[in-house]
Amino acid sequence: MEDIKNYTIQKLQSVLEENEFAPFCAQQIFGWVYKRRIENFDSMTDISQKARSVLKGAFYFSNLKLAKREVSCDGTEKFLFGLNDRNCIETVLIPQQARTTLCLSTQVGCKFGCVFCLSGKAGFRRNLTASEIINQYLHVQGLIGACKITNIVFMGIGEPLDNFFHTVNAVKIFTEPKGIHFGRRRICISTCGLTPQIEKLEKLNLGVKLSISLHSPDNRIRSELVPINKKYPLQELIRAVKHFHKTQRYPVTFEYALIGGLNTKKEDALALAKLLKGLKYKINLIPLNRMNSRFQVPSGVEIRDFQRELEKRGVFSTLRKSRGQDINAACGQLRAYAGCKRG
Ligand code: SAH
């Protein structure tokens, strides 16, 4: 049996055609599953009996089990979900004024070992399937009812571009007009800088936004913070991002965790402005969420001075308020768990 939520509409169409059913049946199924939220073929009354019985024998509907739901004093919510193999992942919901952002995980654990991030501390276990990514959204949207999720960010546990196939399929399912029909520009994929995958993503022309976890304009410091930089150094990364930007025509976002005394100097602001010259971009400054004693949280003055230095060079940045720290839901605080109990 196959998990139907791993199927893009195109793939479902070709399976139906192989079985000599009309391809538009896939559109009907998408309508039932993703618009009407029906997970039972018998209820899909506009589909022929014969097709329904074939579908019942071929597909099942997967679900995540909610193991824990925590609410922060700032309204941020963290969901701990149990997967079928007893692994667990976390998903975060961030309500702001006009938007409600869902932060999705794409892997159980992470391979990339960014030194200030907890998500990879217990190592990497496995990729999530497209259905496990989609189910995070469906489950949370089901729980919050009338309040609509307006933005999706692939910024939870894991590296989305290292799980390229399932991440791309999840995006295709999210944006499918016959199903959820989520706006492409309201989806953002964040990466620690996998240059070849950025190039691959660009060729697919999905129309989603790209965010780069940059953290330093200096190769030596960046390699220390984000070890994958040794393999794909800054110049190569920025070249790929510029190319992406040229074809996708949408500003790229750079995430920049401000670390006290390390990447907040005047020279860093200067080097950053120089590195990103010629690009249309936004910079999100995120004061470090402290994980260990190795790195310092920046002072208020340090943050303000860095932002001013950037401004002087025509670089405008937004300072991201850390959300959900009290429930360990902020950037870098999400973890994957093994052997977690489902439900
Ligand atoms: N692997 C992807 C998706 C994770 S996004 C990526 O690296 O982009 C999570 C974001 O939080 C990344 O920008 C990451 O660098 C940042 N982050 C991790 N730990 C942090 C911390 N302790 N303080 C602030 N930001 C952190």
Q: What is the pLDDT of residues 122-181, one digit of tens each?
A: 899 999 999 999 999 999 999 999 899 999 999 999 999 999 999 999 999 999 999 999
Average pLDDT on 15-38 reads: 94
Q: From start to end of the chain, where are the E strands?
A: 2-3, 59-60, 65-71, 77-82, 88-95, 100-103, 107-109, 124-127, 151-154, 187-191, 209-213, 252-258, 281-287, 317-319
pLDDT band at 338 (very low <50, low <70, confident <90, very high): confident
3-state secondary structure of 85: coil
pLDDT at 115: 94
Average pLDDT on 2-14 reads: 97
User: According to DSSP H, which parts of 176-255 are helical?
Assistant: 195-204, 219-225, 234-248
**Mutational test site, ligand 1, from 155, 195, 216, max ligand atoms within 8 Å of CB:** 155
Under 8 Å between Cβ of 35 and 164: no
Under 8 Å between Cβ of 179 and 35: yes
pLDDT of 341 > 70? The answer is no
Q: How many helices (H) and strands (E) does the chain have?
A: 10, 14
How many CB atoms within 10 Å of residue 203? 9
Q: What is the pLDDT of residues 263-304, one digit of tens each?
A: 999 999 999 999 999 999 999 999 999 877 789 999 999 999
Q: What is the pLDDT of residues 181-225, one digit of tens each?
A: 999 999 999 999 999 999 999 999 999 999 999 999 999 999 999
Q: How far is the CA of 332 from the centre of ligand 1 (A)?
A: 5
Q: How far is the CA of 58 from the centre of ligand 1 (A)?
A: 39
Is 191 a pocket residue for ligand 1 (Cβ < 6 Å)?
A: yes
pLDDT at 227: 98
Q: Which atom of ligand 1 is nearest to the CA of 157?
A: 4
- Hey, what long-range contacts does 245-250 have (CB within 8 A, 24 or more apart)? 245/279, 245/280, 245/281, 247/202, 247/205, 248/202, 248/205, 248/207, 248/210, 250/185, 250/209, 250/280
* Statement: the pTM of the whole predicted model exceeds 0.75: yes
Q: Which atom of ligand 1 is nearest to the CA of 191?
A: 8
pLDDT of 231 > 60? The answer is yes
pLDDT of 340 > 80? The answer is no
Under 8 Å between Cβ of 210 and 198: yes
Higher-pLDDT residue of 340, 342? 340
Is 257 a pocket residue for ligand 1 (Cβ < 6 Å)?
A: yes
331 is catalytic: yes
How many CB atoms within 10 Å of residue 128? 26
pLDDT of 229 > 60? The answer is yes
- Give the β-pairing of 252-258 and 209-213: parallel
Most distant CA pair in the chain: distance in Å?
69
